[in-house]
Structure 1
């Protein structure tokens, strides 16, 4: 059928038992997104209950409309897969229409493509009917709506739903997602311009019609506000989309999104960008976004990085970083890793030969840079001064000099430099020369057995030469000039058959390990079954093997032979000696060309094909930091308020305060506090740690932790029961007793206040600053505030909309509870407004929630063990704001994450090994983190696409630059 005869752009097929609301929202979104303000819709989407007139034969009418549609949108779910009506619609499409116009939106169940089989993985896929077996030549476009359907967030103002609708609409209209976003923003700007015109016209009538003019002004501001909101949402969606592939650009989009309009989606984008950049120390430069021809057809622009063994210095150059003459790789940037600041820029007269090697001495004080043609520049790093230039052979008349160096190594002490290189005549003739860097004179010269030479210096400055073609190892002593006899490597994979002189073996910097790549993605003629292998050269044995190309670019830290750093699928990741992936350090839009690590593997630098350069840390930098816990206090040693820890021993009990600064010893009391199945003693300390109350079997005693002595006599007829809380003055104690919640003066043990209406009170909870008390039961929640004279005054009472144990924000302005369905209810104390989150399925019954420091988010632990994550909920709206991985914060055999808000407002989590991590969950802190990583403005075209006409300032302090 000719394209011009189609009456409909898309036909939506779905389960009427489950997905009617989702189908309605999807149809509405496709009609509205990127729609000109003067038109009702620009695409026609058929959905049977809204698009079909009355007909005697409903099935025939639907199939007729299906035949009149250009695209088939299948809302996939197990229920839809079992529907005979949906099946009939799909079978009709299979018989009459092309499968490249078949789009899938998953609302429930699972879906997975098997690239090897060229079909869906039917052992895992549950949302597709069997009639779709072997019907696709390649994986079709499909989008994931499962989280959106569960959250019931069907608004184009919600970034995930808007992003999904944009993906489908782009395919239906034959556009890219960026073009759809741009068109949507353009249409909104058109509306803004129309409103501006209306304001201008009404200004002429201002004298006679002031009311009309004020109304137009208000409308203009509203239109601008809507335009800013729309731009913020588009930028947030872009940030979320880019987080997995280009964390630097994700950070930039997230910062601009929040600066444009601080929406909830913008906050979610900030959180996701911080998580994506968790192990990024610094983005040195962003990627170009494309790989263009640079020097000769098919060549890849050079980018090289180097990190000194001691982790003090980083060096890098890139063809995408041009100088004033337009040449990018003549100058090398130096960076002080420990001080987190750039050093000098080294400028050379010649450019590196096809990405020539770059090496730093162990202490980072000497830099060796290979330049064209086959020369080596030695630079003093502290002074940024060229020390000397060494010529390798006779390079001036060397044909094909761009073939460059075969291998390159600088001794740990910086006294010797070794290189393998082509010499006259060109062919398989490769020379190996060792120079004295102090004089530039050669100390050893010879011919390599094959072109597959690799060089590395051991700690004793002994040179190791590995020949991949001959499968041999030779050594050259520190002060020697003659090579040892070759030692054969039995079973070592030969690289002699590979083409084009591409380096396929990477040695550790101590020469004891070798990573041999079966296919690095550039070499022609790789065979099926080839593997990448990790070898112990000292022992002459293979340690591990993986399928070829799984790890594309590698580096082996000198002082950590249990670690391999590799680039796989455009991400830099850590592997163990068995080549099993540990964790990803960061991602890029293009594969890495160069990777370099410090000796212990703590610092990893990477440069990519499009010129992006970043420095990573193998420790978390953004998501959280370890705080002191020298005595290895465990989560089960905390008191219920989480601010105090105790450990009983013979002769008494040791006490610690737990704050954002870490676990600090508070003192000792000369009494044993026991908490087990038969005994449930309790202990609590006031804010400054000068008074400690111990409760044992209804008897209260007061103690001084500095001296360990008891203060005054015990109280056997206690006026208060558990739980107990000190007021901010550190003297008055609050607890449930005598049929009500009471306030007791610990100096006299007299009740000074009894709170009315608190008979039979259930949970009692205080805010972190001890100024707000929340009392909850099955009927109501009551909020009290500390007033003058240490009196508690009731400020809010709500009906039983809040169920479960309550948590209170640090300043007492919000209260949250979680019910049996894991749905969170949030109360704003000042206004009385209550919002709810959607329910989240949690394994193992884990029900931990806290507020972050400024009460912007409620943080919930979702999942268990090493699969646990932090789920963020917006405390104003109850909407989901994304997740963070918790990583290894598992508590013993409980398979839970112990999480609590410290008195200063941060969130602390305990690790299974007793470690304590502080996590900053705060928008201002997130913005500060991202600004340190990427402070430059959006490029002009990107700024115009999203923000033209909106006058948005640069998030990190300067005005935005077009």
Structure 2
């Protein structure tokens, strides 16, 4: 076991605590290597030769099922080890390197006999040296050093390395069953043949028992068939009702936990949807995944974090814990290294530009650590550094060659200690003016030094002379009632708050914004934040307090409205990391990684830029091929057509010259042909990116809407005057025509809708009246009701958005109103139906797209455009199967979102960073957890 306090993401993993029962075996393994094999092995040991009256043949301890959260996880593991009869090591190079596997092996070696130690090889190599009576440590890669010299003869070990690529890891797999049998026989203490025979007997016994039960039931059924059938129906109904109730209870809890425990909320929502997939559980799943678009992942540590520091030149965070450990986390690779300083909490950390050279303090001593190789930290000759609190008393230069420590027993006396970054040797120690609040190293020769007090000064210091320059800049912190402070990497910027406004003040006297009255103010709904973070360049700030975390950015002209990062609960530490707007916060025993440039966790790939899309006037025209692999964006008055191909990785974008300024793109049913409909006819795109005319007969006026039939043979074309033509897709022959609506309407998106079977076209006139045209007969009729703003079809439903923003659901013929869905204000006329998901998407005036279920009227959730200022020139579309929603904005961006629950589950599980525990399931619904509740990443 790699540790009860470490999970995959390097060495980090969630911890749980077991009960007080005895165990037949203890499985020790690395999650990074064997997170799939270990549960399968446990299940196999449970089931092989299991008596009919028992739940399992062997009681096996594995951290993923036997531990619950607790403050002293090693003590819990030690209890489990002491109460276990056998030790099963899943041997691999990852396990051999794991400090927690080593600790468990060392414990077993000290307290148990060699004969109770069993080995299962899952990766790497094991070689036994008969001559030496030990493993050949020059060739063995899968075993920890703690086994060196323990065995006098080769121990029992099973080679399961073949199973790493096996998809069926059950006892039905003959090879897997054979290897499980070898282990089980050793643990049972019986010959393997006897165990196989016993397994066969138990299977026969269960089979005969089932047959006897079936025979008895058949006899009873013959006597009381009607009564039994009625009882079965009642039982099934009761089971179904209980299942639905459990699923909805989980869904309700998931939504309620979004603000405080987003990892738990997502896992509960996944469990709810898998228990009973319906509109409510789907809505809860979507809401939890869409709730915090900047979330990347939650990483359980098993111990509380006390401080977080970020390297500005690389995506590396360094975390200090309450039990005196340092963790270095590379966000790009997920690799972590760790080291122990002592038993007391880490109170302050500073790093160089790349997070390679790290200094940290536990309040008593200062330590130097090379986090990349994970070597033991070196204690420096600096005791009792200045107390942690509002200040920043440790600093490392960007190069890592210089370390600075403000040292002092009280604020009446202070010293600056300079040390060599490579060796930790002291270079110089000098008295400095008392009351220094913070220090930051600009380079290896210059420091920023911030004084203490309500109105402090920020000055430059020469490290060669240890003299503070007389001219400094005033740090504009108010005299009273303020919350303080956060500092950028080199202390060039300070964050503080008063009256619900968080400020970032430039501290660097050479900075262009260094005038006394210039700072970056952001209104954050936190009266007195207790945690701050400032980006290295001073343009980003985060503040936390009262169980909430907000982040904001200054774009050079004005601060952008702050964003709340949901799901944190109480924040213990926060820091900006790297150069690409990465943020790491710590809440309790969880680390949370945020990407402030990430627009959505539902994104189906990165945002694509299409600079020649329309930038003003009407919305662009957008069409997606039925398979969702191709997209085309065009618009009036523009020379170029933008074509995106999502069928390759990474997606490509092409801009081609159009044959005419006006043009409506339409894909063929198989996605191989793209037509551009213009008033003069239709042009087909050729393989070389050009166009050739394929329709001889012109369209009537300007085409503003079109839809291809399911068989790909016909296409309905609607003009800006409401005229409807059904034409052959290949040559444009007119098959039927209908006149325009009684009054012409504009060509804005959402004002036309064509039914899936091409039988009807709905048109919103300029005066808000809605008219339906039958494409075959040309008959038209007006729908009753107040003025409308948009129409859309979803399979057999017609949707009308009224001027009051309510949404009406009609049958496709517009003869019967089925339901009205109330909505808030602020919607544009852009609305589309999403078939396959039976959803409707509506664009708001602030750049969000809200989704409703047309059958239940429930709001499913919303996604946000990457640039809310583009909302007035945005078109929406969906793939034919409803698995993706797409948007093209007038400023030239193409965005895609996943709309299928499978993708939502993947996003939820990836960011939650762990599995729902049986205890969490039982606490939520009051029943025993199902056998499988893992996310199955």
**TM tier, shorter chain?**
0.5 to 0.7
Aligned partner (choices 212, 226, 243) of residue 241 of structure 2: 226
SS at match of 2:283: helix
SS at match of 1:270: helix
Aligned to 1:213: 228
Aligned to 1:543: 518
Report matched runs for 1:468-617 at 5 Å. 468-469=452-453, 471-477=456-462, 480=464, 482-490=466-474, 493=477, 504-516=484-496, 534-538=505-509, 539=514, 541-544=516-519, 549-558=527-536, 560-576=537-553, 582-588=561-567, 590-600=569-579, 602-608=581-587, 610-617=588-595
1:384 paired with 2:370, answer no
1:347 paired with 2:352, answer no
Aligned to 2:653: 664
Distance 1:408 1:898 in 2: 52
> How many pairs does the alignment contain?
678
Aligned partner (choices 238, 254, 266) of residue 253 of structure 2: 238
Report matched runs for 1:620-659 at 5 Å. 620-624=599-603, 626-634=606-614, 636=618, 638-639=620-621, 644-646=632-634, 653-657=639-643
TM-aligned CA deviation for residue 631 of structure 1: 2.4
TM-aligned CA deviation for residue 390 of structure 1: 1.3
Distance 2:695 2:623 in 1: 26
Does the aligned pair in 2 maintain the 1:646–1:655 contact within 8 Å? yes
TM-aligned CA deviation for residue 456 of structure 1: 0.6
SS at match of 1:846: strand
Aligned to 1:877: 856
Q: What is the CA deviation profile of residues 780-823 of structure 1, one whole-angstrom value per residue up to 9, with x for unaligned ones?
A: 97999xxxxxxx99xxx9997999965345xx576644456655
TM-aligned CA deviation for residue 730 of structure 1: 7.0
Q: Say if 1:707 and 1:852 are closer, same or farther in 2 by CA, change over 3 A.
A: closer
Under a length normalisation based on structure 2, what TM-score does the superposition of the two structures give? 0.61
SS at match of 1:848: strand
Distance 1:428 1:821 in 2: 67
Distance 1:724 1:588 in 2: 43
1:450 paired with 2:450, answer no
Q: Say if 1:507 and 1:402 are closer, same or farther in 2 by CA, change over 3 A.
A: closer
Q: Say if 1:623 and 1:833 are closer, same or farther in 2 by CA, change over 3 A.
A: farther
Aligned to 2:822: 839
TM-aligned CA deviation for residue 508 of structure 1: 1.8
Larger deviation: 815-824 or 207-216? 815-824
Distance 2:820 2:713 in 1: 38
TM-aligned CA deviation for residue 534 of structure 1: 2.9
TM-aligned CA deviation for residue 369 of structure 1: 2.8
Q: Say if 1:772 and 1:596 are closer, same or farther in 2 by CA, change over 3 A.
A: same
Aligned to 1:5: none
TM-aligned CA deviation for residue 754 of structure 1: 5.2
Does the aligned pair in 1 maintain the 2:681–2:695 contact within 8 Å? no
Under a length normalisation based on structure 1, what TM-score does the superposition of the two structures give? 0.60
Distance 1:355 1:859 in 2: 49
TM-aligned CA deviation for residue 594 of structure 1: 1.7
Aligned to 2:836: 854
Aligned partner (choices 681, 694, 700) of residue 700 of structure 1: 681
Does the aligned pair in 1 maintain the 2:888–2:894 contact within 8 Å? yes
Aligned to 1:900: 877
SS at match of 2:518: strand
SS at match of 2:393: strand
Aligned to 1:366: 357
Q: What is the CA deviation profile of residues 198-238 of structure 1, one whole-angstrom value per residue up to 9, with x for unaligned ones?
A: x9x99996563233233223322222222222222222222
SS at match of 1:543: coil
1:432 paired with 2:416, answer yes
TM-aligned CA deviation for residue 407 of structure 1: 0.8
Aligned to 2:397: 411
**Quick one: higher RCO (CA 8 Å, sep 6+), 1 or 2?**
2
Superposition RMSD in Å: 5.0
Aligned partner (choices 915, 919, 930) of residue 893 of structure 2: 915
TM-aligned CA deviation for residue 853 of structure 1: 6.3
Distance 1:840 1:347 in 2: 54
Q: What is the CA deviation profile of residues 369-417 of structure 1, one whole-angstrom value per residue up to 9, with x for unaligned ones?
A: 3236313131231x22226331314x6xx9x999999611111111111
Distance 1:781 1:660 in 2: 35
1:309 paired with 2:312, answer yes
Aligned to 2:324: 330
Report matched runs for 1:168-207 at 5 Å. none
Does the aligned pair in 1 maintain the 2:581–2:596 contact within 8 Å? yes
Distance 1:914 1:946 in 2: 46
Distance 1:717 1:303 in 2: 69
Aligned to 2:661: 673
Distance 1:648 1:798 in 2: 30
Does the aligned pair in 1 maintain the 2:544–2:550 contact within 8 Å? yes
Distance 1:530 1:582 in 2: 12
Report matched runs for 1:122-161 at 5 Å. none
Distance 1:533 1:310 in 2: 21
Distance 1:871 1:494 in 2: 43
Larger deviation: 907-916 or 573-582? 573-582
Q: What is the CA deviation profile of residues 431-453 of structure 1, one whole-angstrom value per residue up to 9, with x for unaligned ones?
A: 32111021211112123422443
TM-aligned CA deviation for residue 725 of structure 1: 4.6
1:927 paired with 2:902, answer no
Q: Which runs of 5+ in 2 are unaligned?
A: 1-213, 625-630, 743-750, 764-768
